[in-house]
């Protein structure tokens, strides 16, 4: 670096240092010598209390004024509206305990206090006014401002940049939350838009809605949601202040898209803190009730113009608020048909179709007390009560439509007695819906109509579903089934079931046990009818009557030990000597020898009475795709819906369905005779099947093996105890020889009742059987079904007629 350059840089550095020294010495503030800084002290003479009013008066004559209401600040000049409370509070709080450095002999043009830029005036909760004049920022110092108490002479430097806050326009202080109320402060609302309706809040806290001549309870949660949206409305853009002509925005009266008026309840007087001086009033006066009216007008892009009456302000809100603030009136209705907790219901009365029941809850279970005193179907009662507790109205019809629902002259009713309620809940039951599956229902005191499953209101459904139960201490010993096809009698002997009528035969033990267990304790899914037996059940074609015979279990003979001896004491154990034992004996100790015995140990047991037999009769019918059952002598008679499998078991086969009791591997000869008189015989030669009828024909041994296995495994579709008049002709007869015994299966030409079924017989079965179409197809095979694929029967040479030359020429025919 050149010496000249170094000198120049040195001079510049000295000038900068000199400038800083001069600035610190105060020489720039005034030509006369600077005064020494004084100590930091309070700027305002009086302590500032809780701010209630704040005014910003600018040198240009504009004024911005705020007023505190509760915890919120509002702008009162030059416009009226809700302020951003945090911003105003920050400015007001800056005057509390404000401290600064007192300065003197500083020119007014330096401090800016010869003509203050702004004057802040704060009025606190004691009514004391505090004023502060704001000057210029201190030169070369960031965040410091010259200030002076209003009416005072002392100038202070405070460490706050007042200018950055005070130069903000009024829009910066405006809250975008435009509604000056909270939703819980609202006691009513009126909506004029697509619909017109009013919401009112009662002193009890319940909301009601009135529209189109109707009035009813409103859904409190939905009303709260609507009011929350109103109270939380935010401005997207401020458009105009003090606007007089609102027609350009579609906001003139009668032209709005929506008018939403909210009524505020009057505020209760707020108590002042205990630390306030006793000269202050204990409470603030209550604010009078007032209304807030929001008007929404023309759309602009995705927004809409809006204003609030009395605010002189036009702003934009999101256009979606037009939908949010005017839901359909019916959507605000309280749709609960009745209000109660299902667990609190203690008694239920149901009247419908000329029948009535009364049910009472005890120990969490339901019992019928009218028309009979008996167990009830607790599950059905709980289900009904639960459904009614959550029932919501789908419509609020007028009288004309109520008549169409059968609710002007109800067909029945439900009365619910609820714990803690002085009056019961009463519901009216109307007609059935178009499908017949639902029934219309409404509160006796409300217009809302709902629908519920018709079956849940049938008095019969509340009866106990236990239709039959064998007496305690008995066992089922016989079942007599009177069926459309025959009367079957099954008996149990030595733990095994057998058929004794109409034939003596083995029965399927699994089926018989399943029937016996189901009849020992027959429980319906629901009770379908009570009282007189309906015709549809009495005249059902598919009807099985079961007589269940039970006998008492044999009583155990009494022990040969004396009655006074403990049951757990071994018979051979001698009694101990009382003198050698402690006075207190365990309960399991034998009695002392000196105690009398009712009978000697060797006395024979008394004779045991023979078991007594008892019986009861159960009817099971099938109607359509459902099954029903009832018990003879049941009072009142109950017809219960039972699983259709119960009827199918009773009407189905009791005997084993497998026709033959042989093993396929034991079969060594097979003969098939067709209705045309053709006979095909096969023999197993060293485990390989051959065609005996014609050894020149090649067969597939595996096909014969498969046929034998299928024939051995065929099942009887049904045993025929009362056969119709049958044709004697056989469609196919199959003989299988195993271990020297021949077993025969016959399929008759006589068609059975099922599709493609045929009557027939089987070895070892005395009566006819019914073969299914699939079994007939399995047994009725031709020789071609056993041939090898490469051994198909040859046809005539090309050009020759199928049956040889005409006139017997050549004498050759082809079969």
Q: What is the pLDDT of residue 268?
A: 47
Task: Note the pTM of the prediction, 2 decimals.
Answer: 0.64
Q: How confident is the model at residue 37 (pLDDT cuts 50, 70, 90)?
A: low
Are 76 and 120 in the same domain? yes
Q: What is the pLDDT of residue 811?
A: 37
Q: What is the pLDDT of residue 81?
A: 81
Residue 102 is assigned to a structural domain of this protein = yes
Q: How many CB atoms lie within 10 A of CB 673?
A: 16
* Host H or E run for residue 14: helix 3-25
3-state class of 297 per DSSP? strand
Which is it for strands 63-69 and 51-58: parallel, antiparallel or unpaired?
antiparallel
Averaged pLDDT for residues 229-247: 88
Q: Is the pLDDT of residue 300 over 80?
A: yes
Q: What is the pLDDT of residue 740?
A: 94
Q: What is the pLDDT of residue 759?
A: 94
Per-residue CA distances from 466 to 398, 629, 634 (Å): 44, 11, 11
| Residues with Cβ within 8 Å of residue 383, at least 6 apart in sequence | 456
User: Alpha carbon 639 to chain centroid distance?
Assistant: 32
8 Å CB contact between 674 and 712: no
Q: How confident is the model at residue 82 (pLDDT cuts 50, 70, 90)?
A: confident
Q: Is the pLDDT of residue 164 over 90?
A: no
Return the minimum-mean-pLDDT range out of 203-217, 367-381, 535-549, 562-576: 562-576
Residue 19 is assigned to a structural domain of this protein = no
Residue 24 is assigned to a structural domain of this protein = no
Q: How confident is the model at residue 35 (pLDDT cuts 50, 70, 90)?
A: very low
Q: Is the pLDDT of residue 489 over 90?
A: yes
CA dist., res. 232 & res. 252, Å (int): 24
CA dist., res. 628 & res. 620, Å (int): 6
8 Å CB contact between 49 and 124: yes
Q: Cis peptide before 78, with omega less than 30 degrees from 0?
A: yes
Are 240 and 351 in the same domain? no
The order of strands in the sheet holding 145-149 is: 40-42, 99-103, 155-158, 145-149, 129-137, 118-124, 51-58, 63-69, 72-77, 81-82
Residue 62 is assigned to a structural domain of this protein = yes
Are 631 and 761 in the same domain? no
Percent of the chain at pLDDT > 70 equals: 82
Beta strands in 237-340 (DSSP E): 237-241, 258-264, 290-300, 303-308, 313-318
Are 493 and 413 in the same domain? no
CA dist., res. 432 & res. 569, Å (int): 70
Are 206 and 109 in the same domain? no
Q: How many CB atoms lie within 10 A of CB 215?
A: 14
Are 261 and 309 in the same domain? yes
428, 462, 496: which is the final residue of a domain? 462
8 Å CB contact between 30 and 107: yes
Are 421 and 545 in the same domain? no
Percent of the chain at pLDDT > 90 equals: 67
Listing DSSP states for 181-212 in one string gives S-GGGEEEEEEESSSEEEEEE-TTS-EEEEET
Q: Is the pLDDT of residue 287 over 60?
A: no
410, 433, 462: which is the final residue of a domain? 462
Tokens of 238: 């401020």
| Residues with Cβ within 8 Å of residue 305, at least 6 apart in sequence | 239, 249, 250, 251, 296, 297, 298, 314, 315, 316
8 Å CB contact between 243 and 314: yes
Residue 322 is assigned to a structural domain of this protein = yes
Q: How confident is the model at residue 530 (pLDDT cuts 50, 70, 90)?
A: very high
Q: For 609-643, how does the pLDDT look when each residue is reduced to its tens digit (9 = 90+)?
A: 555 668 999 999 999 999 999 999 999 999 999 99
Residue 165 is assigned to a structural domain of this protein = yes
Are 389 and 480 in the same domain? no
Enclosing domain of residue 718:
664-791
Q: Is the pLDDT of residue 417 over 90?
A: yes
Residue 415 is assigned to a structural domain of this protein = yes
CA dist., res. 563 & res. 352, Å (int): 59
* Closest-CA residue to 326 (of 275, 257, 390, 395): 257
Q: How confident is the model at residue 723 (pLDDT cuts 50, 70, 90)?
A: confident
Q: What is the pLDDT of residue 39?
A: 77
Q: How confident is the model at residue 106 (pLDDT cuts 50, 70, 90)?
A: confident
140, 173, 206: which is the final residue of a domain? 173
Q: How confident is the model at residue 589 (pLDDT cuts 50, 70, 90)?
A: very low
CA dist., res. 643 & res. 465, Å (int): 13
Are 757 and 682 in the same domain? yes
* Closest-CA residue to 651 (of 673, 621, 629, 677): 621
Tokens of 513: 């046990």
CATH at residue 737 = 3.30.1490
Give Rg (Cα) of the chain. 52
Q: How confident is the model at residue 18 (pLDDT cuts 50, 70, 90)?
A: low
Are 641 and 774 in the same domain? no
- Helix intervals (H) in 713-771: none
8 Å CB contact between 72 and 167: no
Averaged pLDDT for residues 354-365: 94
Q: For 121-131, how does the pLDDT look when each residue is reduced to its tens digit (9 = 90+)?
A: 999 999 999 99
Q: What is the pLDDT of residue 330?
A: 92
Are 455 and 474 in the same domain? no
What's the structural domain count of the chain? 5
Tokens of 319: 């256009």
Tokens of 689: 């099947």
Averaged pLDDT for residues 340-352: 96
Tokens of 309: 């009456």
Averaged pLDDT for residues 228-247: 88
Averaged pLDDT for residues 421-429: 95
Averaged pLDDT for residues 195-206: 94
Are 753 and 623 in the same domain? no
Averaged pLDDT for residues 345-370: 95
Tokens of 471: 């007496």
Tokens 């105003």 belong to 88
Q: Is the pLDDT of residue 286 over 50?
A: yes
Averaged pLDDT for residues 576-605: 45
Averaged pLDDT for residues 261-277: 59
Q: For 645-662, how does the pLDDT look when each residue is reduced to its tens digit (9 = 90+)?
A: 999 999 998 999 999 999
Q: For 654-710, how does the pLDDT look when each residue is reduced to its tens digit (9 = 90+)?
A: 999 999 999 999 999 999 999 888 999 999 999 999 999 998 999 999 999 999 999
Q: Is the pLDDT of residue 32 over 70?
A: no
Q: Is the pLDDT of residue 799 over 70?
A: no
More confident residue, 65 or 174: 65
Q: How many CA atoms lie within 13 A of 774 on its CB side?
A: 6
| Residues with Cβ within 8 Å of residue 653, at least 6 apart in sequence | 508, 511, 716, 718, 719
Q: What is the pLDDT of residue 724?
A: 84
Mean pLDDT of all residues belonging to the chain: 85
Q: Is the pLDDT of residue 277 over 90?
A: no
User: Alpha carbon 756 to chain centroid distance?
Assistant: 49
CA dist., res. 597 & res. 704, Å (int): 80
8 Å CB contact between 307 and 274: no
Q: For 212-224, how does the pLDDT look when each residue is reduced to its tens digit (9 = 90+)?
A: 888 889 999 999 9
Q: How confident is the model at residue 514 (pLDDT cuts 50, 70, 90)?
A: very high
CA dist., res. 701 & res. 707, Å (int): 10
Q: What is the pLDDT of residue 680?
A: 96
| Residues with Cβ within 8 Å of residue 409, at least 6 apart in sequence | 403
* Closest-CA residue to 700 (of 710, 690, 708): 690
Residue 583 is assigned to a structural domain of this protein = no
CA angle 402, 403, 405 (to 5 degrees): 65
CATH at residue 492 = 2.60.40
Q: What is the pLDDT of residue 572?
A: 43
Which is it for strands 145-149 and 155-158: parallel, antiparallel or unpaired?
antiparallel
Per-residue CA distances from 723 to 320, 653, 746 (Å): 80, 16, 15
CA dist., res. 387 & res. 451, Å (int): 10
């Amino acid at each position: 670096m050149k010496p000249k350059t170094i000198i120049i840089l040195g001079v510049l550095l000295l000038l900068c240092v000199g400038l800083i020294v001069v600035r610190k010495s105060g020489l720039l503030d005034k030509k006369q010598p600077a005064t020494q800084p004084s100590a930091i002290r309070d700027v305002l003479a009086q302590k500032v209390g809780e701010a209630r009013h704040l005014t910003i008066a600018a040198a240009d004559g504009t004024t911005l004024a705020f007023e505190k209401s509760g915890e919120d600040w509002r702008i009162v000049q030059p416009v009226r509206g809700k302020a951003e409370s945090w911003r105003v509070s920050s400015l007001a709080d800056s005057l509390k305990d404000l401290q600064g450095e007192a300065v003197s002999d500083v020119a007014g043009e330096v401090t800016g206090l010869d003509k203050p830029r702004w004057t802040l005036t704060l009025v606190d909760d004691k009514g004391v006014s505090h004023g502060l004049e704001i000057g210029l920022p201190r030169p070369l110092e960031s965040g410091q401002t010259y200030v002076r108490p209003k009416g005072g002479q002392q100038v202070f430097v405070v460490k706050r940049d007042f200018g950055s806050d005070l130069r903000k326009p009024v829009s910066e202080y405006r809250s975008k939350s435009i509604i000056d109320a909270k939703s819980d402060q609202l006691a009513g609302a009126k909506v004029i838009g697509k619909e017109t309706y009013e919401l009112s809040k009662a002193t009890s806290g319940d909301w009601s809605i009135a529209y189109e001549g109707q009035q009813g309870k409103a859904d409190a949660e939905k009303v709260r949601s609507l009011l929350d949206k109103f109270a939380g409305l935010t401005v997207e853009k401020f458009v105009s202040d003090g606007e007089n002509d609102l027609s350009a925005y579609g906001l003139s009266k009668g032209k709005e898209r929506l008018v939403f008026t909210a009524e505020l309840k009057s505020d209760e007087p707020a108590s002042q803190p205990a630390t306030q001086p006793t000269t202050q009033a204990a409470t603030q006066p209550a604010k009078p009730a007032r209304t807030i009216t929001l008007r929404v007008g023309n759309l602009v892009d995705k927004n809409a113009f809006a204003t609030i009456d009395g605010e002189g302000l036009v702003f934009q809100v999101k256009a979606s608020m037009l939908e949010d603030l005017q839901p359909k009136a019916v959507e605000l209705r309280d749709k609960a048909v009745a209000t109660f907790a299902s667990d609190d219901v203690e008694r239920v009365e149901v009247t419908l179709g000329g029948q009535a029941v009364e049910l009472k809850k005890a120990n969490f279970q339901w019992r019928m007390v009218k028309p009979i005193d008996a167990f009830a179907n607790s599950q059905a009662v709980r289900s009904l009560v639960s459904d009614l507790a959550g029932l919501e109205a789908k419509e609020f019809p007028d009288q004309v439509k109520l008549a169409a629902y059968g609710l002007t002259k109800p067909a029945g009713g439900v009365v619910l007695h609820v714990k803690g309620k002085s009056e019961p809940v009463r519901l009216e039951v109307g007609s059935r819906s178009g499908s017949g599956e639902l029934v219309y229902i409404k509160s006796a005191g409300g217009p809302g109509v709902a629908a519920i499953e018709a079956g849940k209101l049938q008095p019969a459904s509340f009866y106990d579903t236990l239709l039959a139960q064998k007496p305690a201490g008995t066992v089922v010993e016989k079942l007599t089934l009177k069926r459309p096809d025959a009367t079957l009698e099954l008996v149990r002997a030595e733990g095994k079931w057998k058929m004794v009528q109409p034939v003596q035969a083995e029965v399927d033990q699994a089926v018989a046990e399943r029937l016996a267990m189901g009849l020992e304790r027959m429980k319906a899914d629901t009770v379908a009818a009570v009282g007189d037996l309906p015709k549809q059940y009495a005249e059902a074609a598919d009807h099985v009557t079961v007589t269940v015979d039970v006998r008492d279990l044999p009583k155990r003979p009494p022990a040969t030990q004396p009655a006074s001896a403990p049951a757990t004491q071994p018979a051979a154990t001698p009694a101990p000597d009382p003198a050698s034992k402690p006075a207190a004996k365990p309960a399991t100790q034998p009695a002392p020898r000196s105690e009398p015995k009712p009978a000697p140990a060797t006395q024979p047991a008394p004779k045991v009475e023979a078991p007594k037999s008892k019986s009861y009769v159960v009817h099971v019918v099938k109607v359509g795709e459902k099954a029903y059952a009832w018990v003879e002598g049941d009072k009142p008679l109950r017809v219960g819906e039972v699983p259709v499998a119960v009827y199918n078991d009773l009407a189905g086969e009791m005997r084993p369905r497998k026709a033959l009791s042989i093993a396929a591997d034991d079969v060594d000869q097979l003969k098939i005779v067709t209705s045309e008189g053709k006979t095909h015989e096969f023999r197993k030669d060293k485990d390989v099947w051959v065609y005996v009828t014609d050894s020149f024909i090649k067969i597939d041994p595996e096909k014969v093996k498969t046929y034998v296995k299928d024939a051995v495994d065929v099942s009887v579709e049904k045993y025929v105890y009362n056969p119709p008049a049958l044709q004697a002709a056989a469609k196919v007869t199959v003989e299988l020889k195993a271990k020297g015994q021949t077993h025969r299966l016959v399929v008759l030409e006589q068609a059975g009742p099922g599709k493609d079924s045929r009557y027939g017989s089987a070895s070892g079965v005395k009566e006819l059987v019914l073969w299914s179409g699939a079994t007939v197809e399995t047994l009725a095979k031709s020789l071609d079904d056993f041939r090898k694929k490469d051994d198909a029967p040859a046809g005539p040479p090309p050009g020759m007629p199928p049956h040889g030359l005409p006139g017997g020429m050549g004498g050759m025919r082809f079969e």
